[in-house]
Amino acid sequence: MTTGAANNNAASNLLWIGTYTPDGGGRAQGIGAVRAHQDGSLEWLGTAVEAQSPSFVAVHPALPVVYAAAEQRKKVQAYRRLRDCGLKVHKEAQPAGEATCHVAVDPGGRFVTATCWGDGQVLLYELDADGGMTGRFPAAPSVDPHGSLSPGSPRQSRAHASLMLSDGRVMTTDLGHDTLRIWNYEPGTGLVADHEVVLPHGSGPRHMVEHPSGSVVIVSEYSVEVFVVRPEAGTYELVFRGPATAGGSQEGDSAAEICLGPQGNFAYAGVRGSNIISVLEVAAGGTELIPVKDIHSGGDWPRHHLVRGNLLHVAHERSDNIATFELDPVTGLPGPLLHNLPTPSPTALVPAVMPATAG
């Protein structure tokens, strides 16, 4: 067994690829492994481990352990990294909810969260010293699956993603209820509700990222907009709403991922349908997003994208490829297509080693 430092060094340029397999309508066989080279190109290393529709993956902050949402099986599975960039099953899978579509790991390695698009459940699994999941805790109090916080008939709760906040709390999105929920972690109990932020009716908040200022930037799947919430005396308040694209959204469009550039002064939003990546300037100390330019994403159905240094990698679920662009350090704009990697049904791009965080 290699040491932790050597293991991390070997994996520093490795990406895990979440995918859809045939049970989810995809063409992959499990979690993919990709090597990133200094010239910006990506190298397909193969399937790290066979798995059923591991549509999103997350990594432990200190251990060579990977967690995957088995979306169609309604489970969360842990895997241990091997020397050859492979993975092996690590302890038993844990039950989850309908259409478990996202997992995230606490920066302290204490727990994993899973969000379930199908039934709105938010789940927490505590971790042991070996990275194994030891307990399953539904978030408390549970969300009314057919409750409605906005005008209109009752709607199905659809939890989609969770974000570990820098103050130790957890924020989750609910597309069905147009709501952000903020939770506190209590050992032995799980997630306990702190407060909620209700976004405009029909917006459908999907993914989010925390800005260095402490604000959280959200992209909405249904309305193709961006929102900013800012903590005021511990409670998040909605401070900004604007379009996610420079050219406006088209019928059939749905926003997917949002992430920040390396300096935090640009954000990148992916829109499926029009198949674009929108570049937005982050202004007013992290409280405003101004669309700058839309570029073609380099494929069909940009499900997820990742910024690593000056490179932007975009995973296309339907055209089976990852497109790579170089980012201009001044304008934040992607240049021409730098590299294209054929990859079956990619749905998530996750570094095998998480970047170090301050504090």
324/314 Cα distance (integer angstroms) = 6
Residue 3: is its pLDDT beyond 80?
A: no
- Containing H/E element for 268? strand 266-272
Name the band, by pLDDT with cuts 50, 70 and 90, for residue 145.
confident
Residue 252: is its pLDDT beyond 90?
A: yes
φ/ψ of 261, rounded to 5, equals -75, 175
Q: What are the residues whose beta carbons fall under 8 Å from the beta carbon of 120, sequence distance 6 or more?
A: 97, 143, 145, 156, 157, 158, 159, 174, 176, 177
Mean pLDDT taken over the chain? 94
Tens of pLDDT, residue by residue over 30-74, are 999 999 999 999 999 999 999 999 999 999 999 999 999 999 999
User: In percent, how much of the chain has pLDDT > 70?
Assistant: 95
Tens of pLDDT, residue by residue over 120-132, are 999 999 999 999 9
- Containing H/E element for 238? strand 235-243
pLDDT of residue 358: 35
Q: Kindly state the tokens that stand for 154.
A: 């009752």
AA letter at 14: L
Average pLDDT over residues 326-338: 97
Name the band, by pLDDT with cuts 50, 70 and 90, for residue 10.
low
Name the band, by pLDDT with cuts 50, 70 and 90, for residue 144.
confident
User: In percent, how much of the chain has pLDDT > 90?
Assistant: 89
pLDDT of residue 9: 54
CA distances from 322 to 115, 299, 318, 340, 347 (A): 25, 8, 11, 6, 10
Domain boundaries, the chain: 64-71+92-198
Q: Kindly state the tokens that stand for 315.
A: 């995973």
